A and B are shown apart, each in its own frame.
Chain A
Amino acid sequence: MIRLEDVWRTYTVGESEVDALKGVSLEIARGEHLALIGPSGSGKSTMLHIVGCLDRPTRGRYLLEGREVGSLSEDERSHLRRHRIGFVFQFFHLLPRLSALGNVELPMLFAGTPAGERRERAAAALDAVGLAPRAAHRPDQLSGGERQRVAIARAVVMDPAVLLADEPTGNLDRASALEVMSLLEGMNRRGLTLVVVTHDPAIAERARRVVRMSDGEIQGTGDRGPGTGNDPGLPGARCPDPEPRDRG
């Protein structure tokens, strides 16, 4: 469902060029739960942004559900983000002026969903993360764990195919982190493809497959096999390019 083929992402900083991704190839199947780990600056977020159609590869191909994203127009890419992709961030990124319900309604606002339906679906999504009683609260009236759960409700309210979480527990205490992770895993069990970037080995361990990155390259894949609740019939992923490569 997600397929990266020899993806490079090069930033130009002044005179010099920084390769954030150096020829990454990766395949993620529908319904997978994948953890992306690696030291800070290894390119995890960069990769997530490319997968989420927020950024484009400098070189290489990225296919989402069979479509090459690099060749799509900006409007088509925002359409993908709106309908196929959900994002969860380390810093929640809730709009402070809106209630929990208002924040969850946001994606539907830009999709042009009528107000009544919007309210209903947002309320249902909040209910699914256990926050129905907090619907009217603003983010500053919620705990970190609750904020992240609101963000998760917002990420799934459009019923996306894949949920991308960039260190979703990075700002949470252990209890909230576990709560958030079990929420995400529950959604994964119901078919949502889940990619989680994390620092935390304990969080990574819960994933069916772990991809380790270092210096813009994939270092290895640990396929943990069935056991975390994933559908055992799903194909395992391989790391197609085990050799370290250098540019030019």
Chain B
Amino acid sequence: MRLLDLLGFAAGALRGHRLRTTLSVAGVAVGIAAVVALTALGEGARAYVVDQFAALGSNLLIVLPGKVETTGAAPFGGVTHDLTLDDYRAIARLPRVRRSAPMAVATDSVRYRDRGRDVPVLGTTADFADVRRLEVGSGAFLSAGDPEEGGNEIVLGVTVANELFRGESPLGQVVRVGPWRFRVVGVLAPRGQSLSFNIDDVVFVPVRTAMRVFNRSSLFRILVDVRMRDELALAKRDVEGLMRERHRADDVTVITQDALIAAFSSILRVLTLALVGIASVSLAVAGVGIMNVMLVSVTERRAEIGLLKALGARDRQVLAAFLAEAVLLALTGGVAGLAIGAAAIRVFVGIYPSFPASPPAWAVAAALGVSLAVGVGFGVWPARRATRLDPVAALARR
């Protein structure tokens, strides 16, 4: 039996039951559409986050005290040396390093007259703005100079400035952080989330000042901007070697931005897969639907099966004919589902144009593969029942 004839025969049988065929095709289509749309959204979210990270500058190394596994749990084993300003200066002098910025962090209330706001206070140097690609809205960022000097200037995130000054110009005004007085030299342009801080809702003071007033002996982080992107790994090794030498121990962690991105990316991919897994349940349901339709079909068409056998159809051919019906149902559903999913994504992108949602090629291929598998997987049992029918009994009218 030729393949085209087989498909034609199966399609003819399906056309005989339009409503039933339409419904089971719709079942598969919904499942596939859900899988495709959710994959596209999940992948879109991943691409979006990765893009955002990449916009931060991907030449970044982050040095943290303690030997930790990428994400920042407690250090393990041995004494951990503080990360000091001297360490920072040594790192900044490395030849592969373009710039570096220390970070000391505490949370305290920032007050102007009777208004106050609890915010993270970041102690750093002038280079921080360049390393993090920060833009200043008005005034200036912390002045360059000896980090040991530690003046009393402060730079406000835009949210802090708006909350405390309500339209007044903050430049030159004096705010209090805890009991200490600072003079506002600048306000940042709006920026939003950057790594673990909302840059709009923090204040910046000189690093030395921050360590002194908050009584910190160790830096929270040192950010390192590497000259050449290709040399990121080398620079990382430089920093690690330098710190091992200075501390006589392997007690700092250097992570690359790439590692962060990769971690986020893989978390989001797992989320996407979880979504797809949930959506696949509907595919399984659709598969059971196909099986049901095919079982009904086999029961209804006993006489036809008996006839085909009487006409000399081989068991294999009867099996193929019924399997072809199930596969046609599933594949039609798969293609329809792809179309519906793609349309849904278009609508979504129409509403949120900045969201890069499009079904990845692997999802499209997988959707078709899965619907084929659903057709075969759920069609094979009914088809086998068809071949096992005794033709004499099937032909008899009872």
Q: Is B314 an interface residue (CB 8 A)?
A: yes
Interface of B is mostly: helix
Q: Is B304 an interface residue (CB 8 A)?
A: yes
- Check A109–B310 contact: CB distance below 8 A: no
- Check B314–A91 contact: CB distance below 8 A: no
Which chain B residue shows the least CB distance to A110? B313
- Check B309–A54 contact: CB distance below 8 A: yes
- From 36 to 68 in chain B, residues with beta carbon under 8 angstroms from any chain A beta carbon are none
Q: Is A43 an interface residue (CB 8 A)?
A: no
| Segment from A34-42, A74-82, A218-226 that makes contact with B | A74-82
**Are A81 and B16 CB-contacts (below 8 A) given A93-B303, A93-B395, A110-B1?**
no
Write out the residue numbers on chain A whose beta carbons fall within 8 Å of the beta carbon of B309: 54, 78, 81
**Are A91 and B312 CB-contacts (below 8 A) given A97-B16, A109-B1, A110-B317?**
no
Q: Which of A79, A96, A109, A158 is the most central at the interface, judged by chain B CB atoms within 10 Å of its CB?
A: A109
CB distance from A105 to the nearest CB of B (A): 9
Q: Is B311 an interface residue (CB 8 A)?
A: yes
Q: Is A55 an interface residue (CB 8 A)?
A: yes
CB distance from B219 to the nearest CB of A (A): 80
Write out the residue numbers on chain A whose beta carbons fall within 8 Å of the beta carbon of B306: 93
CB distance from A87 to the nearest CB of B (A): 5
- Check B395–A55 contact: CB distance below 8 A: no
- Check B392–A81 contact: CB distance below 8 A: no
Cβ contact of A87, chosen from B13, B304, B311, B313, cutoff 8 A: B311
Q: Is B106 an interface residue (CB 8 A)?
A: no
Which chain B residue shows the least CB distance to A55? B392
- From 78 to 116 in chain A, residues with beta carbon under 8 angstroms from any chain B beta carbon are 78-83, 85, 87, 89, 91, 93, 95-98, 102, 106-107, 109-112, 114-115
CB distance from B202 to the nearest CB of A (A): 73
CB distance from A54 to the nearest CB of B (A): 5
CB distance from B10 to the nearest CB of A (A): 12
Write out the residue numbers on chain B whose beta carbons fall within 8 Å of the beta carbon of A87: 310-311
- Check B392–A82 contact: CB distance below 8 A: no
The size class of the interface chain A forms with chain B is 20 to 34
Q: Is B137 an interface residue (CB 8 A)?
A: no
- Check B314–A78 contact: CB distance below 8 A: yes
Q: Is A52 an interface residue (CB 8 A)?
A: yes
Cβ contact of B312, chosen from A55, A98, A111, A114, cutoff 8 A: A111
Write out the residue numbers on chain A whose beta carbons fall within 8 Å of the beta carbon of B314: 74-75, 78-79, 110
* Alpha-carbon gap, A102 to B16, bound state (A): 14
- Check B313–A91 contact: CB distance below 8 A: no
Task: Show 25 A/B contacts (Cβ-Cβ < 8 Å), sorted by A.
Answer: A49-B392, A52-B310, A54-B309, A54-B310, A54-B392, A74-B314, A78-B309, A79-B312, A81-B309, A81-B312, A82-B313, A85-B312, A87-B310, A89-B395, A93-B306, A96-B16, A106-B311, A107-B311, A107-B312, A110-B308, A110-B311, A110-B312, A110-B313, A110-B317, A112-B5
Query: Chain B: residues with CB nearer than 8 A to chain A?
Result: 1-2, 5, 9, 12-13, 15-16, 303-304, 306-315, 317, 391-392, 395, 397
Known: A79-B314, A110-B308. 4 other contacts (CB 8 A): A55-B392, A81-B310, A107-B311, A110-B312
